[in-house]
Chains A and B, each alone.
Chain A
Amino acid sequence: MSKPQFVYVSYIETTPEKLWEALTSSEFTRQYWFGAEIRSDWKIGSSFALTLDGEITDSGEILEADPPRRLSYSFKHQKYEELRGEPISRVVFTIEPFGSLVRLTVLHDGFVEGGKYLGAVSNGWPAILSGLKSLLERGKVLAIPRAALNKGFDAK
């Protein structure tokens, strides 16, 4: 049995620099991350937060920042009561040139066995990262209602 984690790979027609910017600037995240704004100075040890309508939904600390190759932060959910008790998890973004494309690998780990959070994260990331790819390739995101995320495969 492998440890509980979520891994997602996407190939995007863009540059590593542009992808880095899209992951770290609230101008971009607000368009593809369901309206959430990301804020940090992206220095190792600094804090980071995702805010939606002025409310912090997730927060953490920058663990690695090597633009435009690798970014990781600890990730703690703040909004929903039932997820707040879960341990602090970790998100790692790896950006690699791949021919004329960029390969983005997102690893989210640090979950407990049998927790609810992995299922929520497994439903959320594909929608967020699909929107990111659309935004960078066609200049527009896709409008996915949040309600559409409440089902789907609970990757265990």
Chain B
Amino acid sequence: MNIDRFKPLTVYTIYIVATPEKVWEALTSAEFSRKYFSGFAVEMEPKLGGTFIVRAPDGSEHIIGEVFEYDPPKKLTVTWNVNWPELVERLGTTLVTYEIEPAGEAVRLTMSERHDHPLSDDILSGGRTGWPAILSGLKSLLETGQAPQIKMAPPAQMLAALKAMGIKTP
């Protein structure tokens, strides 16, 4: 896979009072992710080429991917393919990169969602709605010890756009 073909279509940056190691752990462990990511469990084999799964609260595999760049606690890239019929065939692969850099007493976390296809704003609204909620929750959890419950549902315009492309959504 040629990573240069992938363009960042959604980017979200957030500063968190924590160590890079702690942010890395929160991004890659089920114990943390369940608290800030609507009960979803991140299950990552911690090595290049390892499997990367995001498991829904009902036990199903919502996202299936693999570890594509692995440089703890600085940079992680995974394939982030939502497990809906025909989705990868129609939209192509999604890459998600987390970059973690020290910034004073905080760290800067930058999430880039990259695609090798041009995608409409309707399709991208899923990530653009989801990432701020997920990463706001992660910041609160690391800074205050408690993650707020942010109930998210896939945006209607994204579901309609996916349906129009022949992708089956739940």
| A residues lining the B interface (CB < 8 Å) | 2, 7-13, 98-101, 126-127, 130-131, 133-134, 137-138, 142-145, 148, 152-153, 155
CB distance from A120 to the nearest CB of B (A): 14
Partner of A2, one of B14, B110, B121: B121
**Cβ of B106 and Cβ of A133 under 8 Å apart?**
no
- Checking B103, B128, B143 against A144 with a beta-carbon cut-off of 8 angstroms, the contacting residue is B103
Q: B11 near A142 (CB under 8 angstroms)? A: no
Q: List 6 A-B contacts (CB under 8 A).
A: A8-B12, A11-B137, A99-B151, A127-B15, A130-B16, A142-B105
Residues in B with CB closer than 8 Å to A133 are 136, 139-140
Q: A13-B140, A127-B103, A153-B13 are in contact. List 16 more A-B contacts (CB 8 A).
A: A11-B136, A11-B148, A13-B144, A98-B150, A99-B148, A100-B148, A126-B15, A130-B106, A137-B140, A137-B144, A142-B105, A143-B104, A144-B103, A144-B106, A148-B108, A153-B112
Instruction: State the B residues within 8 Å of A (CB).
Output: 8, 11-17, 103-106, 108, 110, 112, 121, 128-129, 132-133, 136-137, 139-140, 143-144, 148-151
Of the candidates B13, B128, B144, B151, the one having the most CB atoms from chain A within 10 angstroms of its own CB is: B13
Cβ contact within 8 Å between B132 and A11: yes
- A11: chain B residues at CB < 8 Å are 132-133, 136-137, 148, 150
Q: How far is the CA of A153 from the CA of B64 in the complex (A)?
A: 27
Once A2-B121, A148-B104 are accepted as A-B contacts, the answer to whether A101 and B110 lie under 8 Å apart by CB is no
Q: Which B residues are in CB contact (< 8 Å) with A131? A: 15
Report whether over half of chain A's contact residues are helix, strand or loop; otherwise say mixed. Answer: mixed
> Which residue of B is nearest A2, CB measured?
B121
Query: How many contacts between A and B, using CB within 8 angstroms?
Result: 82
Asked whether, in the complex, the Cβ of A99 is within 8 Å of the Cβ of B17, the reply is no
Taking CB atoms, residues of chain A closer than 8 Å to B148 are 11, 13, 99-101
Residue from A7, A138, A144 with most neighbouring chain B CB atoms (10 Å): A144
Cβ of A134 and Cβ of B132 under 8 Å apart?
no
A155 to B10: give the CA distance in the assembly, Å. 9
Residue contact A148 to B103, C-beta cutoff 8 Å? yes
* Cβ–Cβ < 8 Å partners of A98 in chain B: 150
Q: Are A142 and B17 in contact (CB under 8 A)?
A: yes
Contacts of A142 in B (CB 8 A): 15-17, 104-106
A130-B110 contact, Cβ under 8 Å, with A11-B150, A148-B104? no
User: What residues of chain A lie closer than 8 Å to B150, measured between beta carbons?
Assistant: 11, 98-99, 101
How close is B36's CB to chain A, nearest CB, in angstroms? Answer: 10
The answer for the CA separation of A137 and B139 in the assembled complex, in Å, is 10
A148 / chain B contacts, CB cutoff of 8 Å: 103-104, 108
Closest to A11 in B: B136
Alpha-carbon distance between A126 and B16 when the two chains are bound, in angstroms:
11
Among A127, A142, A155, find the residue whose CB has the most chain B CB atoms closer than 10 A. A142
Residues in A neighbouring B17, C-beta threshold 8 A: 134, 138, 142
